[in-house]
Amino acid sequence: MAGKKVLIVYAHQEPRSINGSLKKVAMEELSRQGCTITVSDLYAMDFEPRATRKDVIGALSNPEFFNYGVEVYEAFKKRSLASDITDEQKKVQEADLVIFQFPLYWFGMPAILKGWMDRVLCQGFAFDIPGFYDSGFLKNKFALLSLTTGSTAEMYTRTGISGDFRYFLWPLQHGALHFCGFKILAPQMSFAPEIASEEERKAMVASWAQRLKTIWEEEPIDCTPPWYFGQ
């Protein structure tokens, strides 16, 4: 939709991968709609995933005992966070929709993307206490996980060996993104591209492009335990 701003946080090493293709087609389709697109290509940026003392510029509020959460909260208020964090926060602040594009690692995000969440979504910027879940500071924004898996769709069912894929989405969508107020759009699951045929991989990319045509009409999921774990 013209005028909308989209941030794609992309965590894959190979541009010619299916993750690369999914990111590329999202950029093409959303650009065609007149959206403004920003991409944080975390590997290409050599993004620092570790939460360390270097994230605070200048003096600590308590130099005797380092508490990362407290120090970045204070640094956010004093505008003394490291520039790689504030650069990403600015991109998030300007976005109407944030798409996370990544391969599933151990039922979670690759470390570089987990580190982005750890460092960018800090207290004061994304939430406060109180000021989380439905009151989180990013409550006027949408978030969407577009991910690829190693295992097949059949394995990611309630009776499958890996359990329902919604189980592992709980900490990502609910514990991190919804905690910060994001409204969560249904995930885009591209199952087992490595063992799929070329035609099937093309279909995965095409179905994502097709979905994006009407993405601004979608309603968010009901981000509560029943969506993930059933009644």
- The domains found in the chain, sorted by start residue, are 5-229 (3.40.50.360)
Is 231's pLDDT higher than 80?
no
Question: Could you tell me the CA-to-CA distances from 87 to 18, 67, 166 in Å, in that order?
Answer: 27, 23, 31
Average pLDDT over residues 116-135: 98
* Per-residue model confidence as pLDDT tens digits over 163-186: 999 999 999 999 999 999 999 999
Average pLDDT over residues 193-214: 95
**31, 61 contact by CB (below 8 A):** no
* Radius of gyration, alpha carbons of the chain: 18
Average pLDDT over residues 45-73: 97
Token pair in block for residue 169: 């989405």
For helices 18-32 and 198-213, the axis angle rounded to 10 degrees is 30
Q: Which residues contact 135 (CB under 8 A, 6 or more apart)?
A: 181
Average pLDDT over residues 52-67: 97
Give the model's pLDDT for residue 1: 83
First to last CA, the chain: 36
Identify the band that residue 120 occupies on the pLDDT scale cut at 50, 70 and 90.
Answer: very high
Which residue has 């701003």 as its token pair? 5
